[in-house]
Structure 1
Amino acid sequence: MPHEFELAKEIELDATPEQVWEAIATGPGIDSWFMGRTEIEPHEGGRSRFTMMGGVNESTVTAWEPGKRFGYRSDENPDGIFMAFEYLIEGRDGGSTVLRLVQNGFLGDDWETEYEAMRAGWDMYLHKLAQYLAHFPGRTARAVISAARPNTGDPDRVWTALTAAIGLSGPVTEGAPVRLALDGLPPIEGVVDYAGLPSFLGVRTGDGLYRFIHSGPSRRNVLVLGHHVFSNDVDERTAEHAWNSWLDRVLA
């Protein structure tokens, strides 16, 4: 039976309202920090399409006030489940902006697990949005790399293998240096910018934002990569192949 819910988040961003709008209400902007690929028809009543790993979700734009308010509502599933989102943008003195997000709709039978996953996930993605606006302003991702492996096993074992593969030892803390090598790509060097184990690990480099996500045993122990690379030199197909090969080695 569908369960109604509402989730609200707020974050202050070191960016103007116009920059925030471009990041949350345009396809290229969203594709520079969020998962998957998004296309948006820029007007109220327009259609939006979200594509990720072969799946497609479509929505209708319900609010379109550039620089102030953006909302959309997903098409309803046969069982009545849908999602609605509203972003409210408020400029502050000094050039910063407060972004408020409200998400509501209906979840399925395992709604408590879904709700907690979304709540924690939004904390990570809004942090990623802040990193994008602070470190890559005016740029859009040249490569969006997604990969997923279900049933990877115990989170402790997976994180031990993954952190070792990116040069981390001991407790994972923000600011810790990261270095790894992938076949066919230049060495990747950066720092931990989000330490949210056992669910999330974020790395920022001079030309990218990298995210490693583990769903936990209640959601099939899925390990997900969600990377955004801003370098003009990157070839998306080559990078995606390199990361998938790397992931297979780490999990072997």
Structure 2
Amino acid sequence: MTNSFEIRKDVDLPVSPEQVWHAVATPEGQAGWSPDPYMESEDLDIVEERPSRFVVRTPEDAHGAFHAFEYQIQPLDEGSRLTFIHSGDLGNDWQSDFDYAEITGYGWNLYMHTLKQYLTYFAGRPAVYVAAQAPDHANTHQAWQQLEQALGLPDGSAQFTVGDEIRLEPSGLSVIEGIIDYVEPGEDFLAVRSQDGLYRFHSLERIGMPVALGHYRYGAALQPLDEEQRKTEEQAWQAWLQNVFA
């Protein structure tokens, strides 16, 4: 028995193929949009055909599971078209109550959008990724509502749509002012674009995991961001989540 899958996404980007290549094929570029920009590259099978094709394949495990991520980049009259393909097999021991390709496809919708936001509004600026996760028990819709309250949204986040201005006030952290840049109808999710970053808050209830966040922070052009500063900010968000759900 196999659990093979393929997820395909197309996105037009307002930059050259070389700039798209840098974003998808280098650690510096991946930090500006990728779900796991600091993933270890050891044991990965990598194919590079700059600037038109980049492929990463994980090793196959004992149950036949593996993942492949392919980026095909084509020039357009203005900008570039990226075709992204996530394929593989979940292995003969995979069992779950949710459709992996469906749920993961929703996630890639967000990340392709985030890539476009990055290259549209923050191209050329150094980036870091800040992530944190709530305690395990914060894996319900009620937990999401608790997060909304803690962000200063007493009426919730579902009232907002793309382009709406928003202000988040997490206690003990900096105020975030920006606009809603993405929505996923029916999902507990909040995405905000500010002048210095893309802020993403997720409910992962559907896959049995707690509330989490993954923010992309951008520095001034040509001025690298300090890794210690990134770690400090990540620790601050982690402590905030721990306090919200204590």
Give TM-score, length-normalised by structure 1: 0.82
Q: What is residue 49 of structure 2 aligned with on the other side? A: 65
Alignment CA distance shift 1:5-1:181 (3 Å): closer
The answer to whether the 8 Å contact 1:88/1:99 transfers is yes
1:201 has 2:190 as partner: yes
Moved more, 157-166 or 8-17: 157-166
The answer to whether the 8 Å contact 2:5/2:87 transfers is yes
The answer to whether the 8 Å contact 1:190/1:204 transfers is yes
1:187 has 2:171 as partner: no
Q: What is residue 118 of structure 2 aligned with on the other side? A: 132
- Quote the offset at 1:12 in angstroms: 1.0
The share of aligned pairs that are identical, in percent, is 35
- In the alignment, the residues of structure 2 paired with residue 167 and residue 191 of structure 1 have an alpha-carbon distance, to the nearest angstrom, of 15
Structure with greater contact order relative to length (CA < 8 Å, sep ≥ 6): 2
Give aligned pairs, total: 231
Q: What is residue 33 of structure 2 aligned with on the other side? A: 33
Give TM-score, length-normalised by structure 2: 0.84
Q: Which amino acid aligns with 1:109?
A: Q
- In the alignment, the residues of structure 1 paired with residue 160 and residue 243 of structure 2 have an alpha-carbon distance, to the nearest angstrom, of 21
1:116 has 2:110 as partner: no
- Quote the offset at 1:165 in angstroms: 3.0
1:1-252 paired onto structure 2 within 5 Å: 1-38=1-38, 48-49=41-42, 58-61=43-46, 63-94=47-78, 96-107=79-90, 108-110=94-96, 112-141=98-127, 143-149=128-134, 150-155=136-141, 157-168=142-153, 169=155, 171-176=159-164, 177-183=166-172, 185-196=173-184, 198-217=187-206, 219-231=207-219, 235-252=229-246
Q: Which amino acid aligns with 2:241?
A: L
The answer to whether the 8 Å contact 1:36/1:146 transfers is no
More strand by share: 1
- Quote the offset at 1:5 in angstroms: 1.2
- Quote the offset at 1:222 in angstroms: 2.0
Q: What is residue 55 of structure 1 aligned with on the other side? A: none
Q: What is residue 44 of structure 1 aligned with on the other side? A: none
- In the alignment, the residues of structure 2 paired with residue 126 and residue 237 of structure 1 have an alpha-carbon distance, to the nearest angstrom, of 25
The answer to whether the 8 Å contact 1:166/1:179 transfers is yes
- Quote the offset at 1:146 in angstroms: 1.2
